[in-house]
Chain A
Amino acid sequence: MSEHIVSRKIYFAIFGALMVLTLITVLVARVDLGVLNNIVALTIAVLKATLVVLYFMHVRYSSRLTWVFVIAGLFWLGILIALTLSDYLTRGGL
């Protein structure tokens, strides 16, 4: 019957991780790594978003149906981006 209450300790740990990741993303951006800059920046952003969704938004402790909703949303976002880019990036001579 009762909902899962996430402890304050977990919230502060996630907050610390988000701060450290923000610092890393800024420090890495100051160095020119070519294509790697984009990969690192996006990887860190995805990591941060995942931490927020799982812990701050309680999805980790939510029902299976909530998981289905979240994953369906991300799947459709994937279709939007992947199919569009697979068109534009293979046209050549843009």
Chain B
Amino acid sequence: MSILKPLKAWKHLAKKPHTIRYPAQEHHDMEGKKLPTDKLRGFHSNDLERCIGCRMCGQICMNDAITYEEIPELEGKKGKNIRPVVDYGRCCFCGLCTDICPTKSLHLTPNFKLVSTDKHDYKFMPTQLVTKNEDYTVELDKVIFDADEYKEKF
């Protein structure tokens, strides 16, 4: 037991905080690698050319987050002309749909930033548009979240 040792906590007054001003500041791990890495499970991306519309992803999805929409332009190609539409209000980002995908056209990307006041914005068809992006934001017309605008406030 010691009475003076707990006072060691005071020396932290001179140290920088652990917390970061997310999202204005970037998040790094202990080795300085930028997070999130490509492994993070975020929004889907789907290669519409490779997808064959087999409905496997909708059957394994236990939250019924995946529905299908017809795309007439894909008529006559391999497979069916339906493609998955994901409702991110229901999706739990478990990734079972990507593991069961027979053509491996469906992926999870590290993109996760999507802010909207309209609940219908959270239901969209994943395409390859949402694959790579420096800021990990989804490229949609309706997205309100803007990291640059947010950074200016700090």
Report whether chain A binds chain B: no
